């Protein structure tokens, strides 16, 4: 309830701007179909417009105050790692297998991508949430145990470590675009594998 003294006026103009970030199931399903397609036959879906969102979710207007103005923003996915990501966000996952486990490289690659896709399920992320490789690495080590000994992420461009943290804008949701082509099984972690010079590199 809003009250004002008799000698005061309430300004009816919209003073409060309320941003709504909306991810529709239709757009989410279409985008995930696009990001997981390796045949290049699925086109990237169009982001819902503000007018479309207002039409579909206009009932929200009945809950706002007269001084409020609602701005409808569609979610925007931010693809990481794979060919459908921007060049600066592309990477290779380098995996060292457990030498005591008998498993093929192809099986390891499939398991890594399956685990990454589970980690980046849209229900696990919120708008503007940052990606931290340390958290993904811990998850993969747990999910892929005992088949994997070490996991590293090496950017296609830039220096090693540049993708350890990736920030998202308030309307963005990060998603993995990685495929088995972005996973490489190696025998050991070396400076050459990290695209780094050995000087100053401490490998554990």
Position 12 confidence tier, pLDDT thresholds 50, 70, 90: low
- Residue 12 CA to its chain's centroid (Å): 40
What string of DSSP letters covers 109-129?
HHHHHHHHHHHT-GGG--TTP
Higher pLDDT, 63 or 100: 100
pTM check: above 0.75:
yes
Element (H, E) at 33: helix 25-35
- pLDDT, one tens digit per residue, over 13-65 is 556 778 888 999 999 999 999 999 988 899 999 999 988 998 998 888 887 77
Higher pLDDT, 143 or 11: 143
d(CA 181, CA 163): 18
Give counts: helices (H), strands (E), the chain: 4, 9
């Amino acid at each position: 309830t809003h009250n004002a003294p008799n000698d005061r006026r309430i300004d009816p103009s919209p003073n409060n701007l309320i941003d709504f970030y909306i991810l529709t199931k239709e757009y989410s399903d279409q985008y995930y179909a696009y990001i997981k397609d390796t045949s290049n036959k699925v086109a990237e879906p169009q982001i819902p417009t503000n007018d479309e969102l207002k039409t579909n979710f206009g009932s929200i207007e009945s809950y706002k105050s007269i001084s409020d103005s609602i701005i409808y923003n569609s979610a925007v996915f931010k693809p990481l790692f794979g060919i459908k990501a921007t060049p600066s966000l592309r990477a290779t996952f380098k995996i060292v297998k457990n030498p005591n486990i008998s498993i093929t490289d192809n099986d390891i690659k499939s398991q890594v991508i399956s685990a990454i896709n589970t980690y980046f399920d849209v229900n696990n992320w919120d708008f503007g949430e940052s990606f931290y490789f340390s958290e993904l690495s811990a998850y993969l080590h747990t999910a892929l145990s005992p088949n994997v000994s070490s996991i590293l992420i090496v950017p296609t461009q830039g220096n090693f470590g540049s993708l350890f943290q990736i920030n998202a804008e308030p309307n963005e949701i990060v998603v993995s675009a990685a495929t088995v082509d972005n996973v490489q099984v190696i025998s050991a972690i070396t400076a050459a594998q990290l695209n780094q010079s050995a000087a100053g590199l401490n490998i554990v």
